[in-house]
Amino acid sequence: MVNNRITQDGLSALEQELARASFGPLAGDETIAGDLPDDHAARTIAELAALAGNPHIDTWRDKLDALKSRNAIAKPLRPCGRLTRAAGLVLEAVGLKMGVGSECMIELPPGSAIPTAEAEVVGFAGDKLFLMPTTEVAGLLPGARVYPLESAPINDPMAGAKRLPVGWEMLGRVVDASGRPLDGLGPLGAKMDAPLAGPVINPLNREPIHKVLDVGVRAINSLLTVGRGQRMGLFAGSGVGKSVLLGTMARYTSAEVIVIGLIGERGREVKEFIEQILGEDGLARSVVVAAPADVSPVLRMQAAAYTTSLAEYFRDQGKHVLMLMDSLTRYAMAQREIALAIGEPPATKGYPPSVFAKLPALVERTGNGPEGGGSITAFYTVLTEGDDQQDPIADSARAILDGHIVLNRSLAEAGHYPAIDIEQSISRVMTSIIDDKHLERVRLFKQMLSRYQRNKDLINVGAYSHGRDALLDRAIALYPRMESFLQQGFREQANFEPSLDLLHQLFE
């Protein structure tokens, strides 16, 4: 190079012409240009050669134009990593930098039913990423390529957080954990979306709970009154009637919108709950998010977060929402599977510490919004294994919820529906939303019921003589009516005011 220009030394005549066509005049061309006529003085040797129709220059230019056209339509290179290990539920990949919660695609071998499998980043160690598959990965090979999954949200294509569809178009629909319809009714048509992690509301900005929410169940309306924005737990073992009670509340509640999350339950129960328990009328104002037990633990956790996001959307529109999640225990178990798989040590009965951090983070997203806005009244079912109320998840949930309703197996086996154990159940906001007369009737009802239950064995064997205890005598006389009061048909609606009238009549 001479003065940043290519010299002619060592170049053949053809090479010199090609060089002039690509880079302009070469060093030493000044004298040639100076001998040209005035009207051609500004032209380079390459331009004169082109004008002369040099075939070599024409060929060179055609090739350059073709390369420019190909370069214009070429796609940028995609970042790619490689799988290095697959152990249990967790896959390890290297060569990528992705945040926890990001999604990626894993290449499957030719001939597989699907070309790629989806996975989510659940942790990392150094330059290794821990992935949890969300779809089937049968046939996965060592060294398979891993690509980041770019999913553009509806509202903000540049947003990085995962967002799923929300909106009024969701009412009456059944979707999976990723917002894909399961009901065969075509696309959702949603025009809005929302992140899975909702904004944190300042507790001082929340509207206090001061209004009653009618749930259509006599025992709850009268003796365990629920307020708008309250978070309640439904504690029971398997097969005691949790889902049926949720369906009754969904059909007869006074809430404007119902959001139902079926998390980790049997796949058969999903269709049964929608068609037989919820019914057409209940589904018309509901959104159902279903993630059965056979899906990935990542999707089970995502379904719970998505259910809450849908409820938050309707609350922000000023609506009073009833959110039913069945069950909170399956959500905790999904987090336990993920945490143990990536190496987190177990703490209490096999549950790692992250489980007990995730539960309040999920529950605290519900409740009342700012003053004058909407509300989310949430019912979370908690599965007590072996009817053990001291189960770690049950004990933790009881501490973070605003009350708990306990279903008793012995009542269910006796044909008592709903099988609510009034003595073990409590609503922590009840005293602030009912009047004094109502509160006195509730206290008297529980007193009579408790006195009878403590002496039930003596009464049944005939060891108690009438007249020895005036309060027990009254409890014995009232018990048949109290038992009838607590029972309610599966398709019977018991609104708040009629339930309260029956409670007053019971003691008159």
Contact 179, 162 (CB under 8 A): no
Inter-residue contact 494 to 220 (CB < 8 Å): no
pLDDT at 7 over 70: no
Region 384-399: what's the mean pLDDT? 80
Asked whether the CA dihedral 75, 76, 82, 87 is positive or negative, the reply is negative
| DSSP three-state, residue 187 | coil
Count CB neighbours of 338 within 10 A: 26
CA distance 11 to 19: 9
Asked if 454 contacts 479 with a C-beta cutoff of 8 angstroms, the reply is no
Q: Which residues contact 140 (CB under 8 A, 6 or more apart)?
A: 83, 86, 91, 106, 108, 109, 117
Tokens of 96: 């990528």
Which tokens go with 300? 């089970």
Considering only residues 179 and 51, tell me which one the structure prediction assigns the higher pLDDT: 179
Cβ atoms of residues 406 and 187 within 8 Å = no
Over residues 176-200, the mean pLDDT reads 87
Mean pLDDT confidence for 189-207? 86
Q: Which of 296, 294, 275 is nearest to 286 (CA)?
A: 275
CA–chain centroid gap for 194, Å, is 11
Query: What is the pLDDT averaged over residues 5-29?
Result: 60
Q: What is the pLDDT of residues 241-300, one digit of tens each?
A: 888 898 888 888 888 999 999 998 887 788 888 888 787 888 888 999 999 988 999 999
**Residue 433 DSSP symbol:** T
Q: How much is the pLDDT for 282?
A: 81
Amino acid at 340: L
Each residue's pLDDT tens digit, 83-134: 999 888 899 999 888 888 888 899 988 888 888 888 999 889 889 999 999 8
Q: Is the pLDDT at 76 greater than 90, yes or no?
A: no
The pLDDT value recorded for residue 33 is: 44
* Amino acid 388: pLDDT: 63
DSSP result, 31-81: HHHHTS-GGGTT--HHHHHHHTT-HHHHHHHHHHHHHHHHHHHPPPPPP-E
Of 151 and 482, the one with more pLDDT: 482
Q: What is the largest CA-CA distance in the chain?
A: 137
Q: Is the dihedral of CA 421, 427, 431, 436 positive or negative?
A: negative
What per-residue confidence (pLDDT) applies to 137? 84
pLDDT of residue 176: 92
Q: Which residues pair with 235 in a beta bridge?
A: 382, 406
> Which domains can be identified in the chain, with CATH numbers?
81-148 (2.40.10.170), 163-433 (3.40.50.12240), 441-506 (1.20.1270.330)
User: Using 50, 70 and 90 to split pLDDT, how confident is the model at 441?
Assistant: very high
Residue-wise pLDDT tens digits, 340-358: 988 888 887 788 999 999 9
Does residue 428 register a pLDDT over 60?
A: yes
Per-residue pLDDT band at 223 (split at 50, 70, 90): very high
Per-residue confidence (pLDDT) for residue 152, from 0 to 100? 44
Pairing of strands 320-326, 367-368: unpaired
Please state, for a pLDDT cut of 70, what percent of the chain lies above it: 85
- Asked if 190 and 205 touch (Cβ cutoff 8 Å), the reply is no
With contact defined as beta carbons under 8 Å apart, do 207 and 370 qualify? yes
pLDDT at 12: 64
Q: Read off the pLDDT of residues 117-131 as tens digits, 9 standing for 90 and up.
A: 889 998 898 899 999
Between 189 and 438, residue with greater pLDDT: 438
- Pick from 217, 178, 189, 270: nearest CA to 422: 217
| 460 SS3 class | helix
pLDDT over threshold 70, residue 42: no
Cis peptide preceding 418, ω within 30 of 0: yes
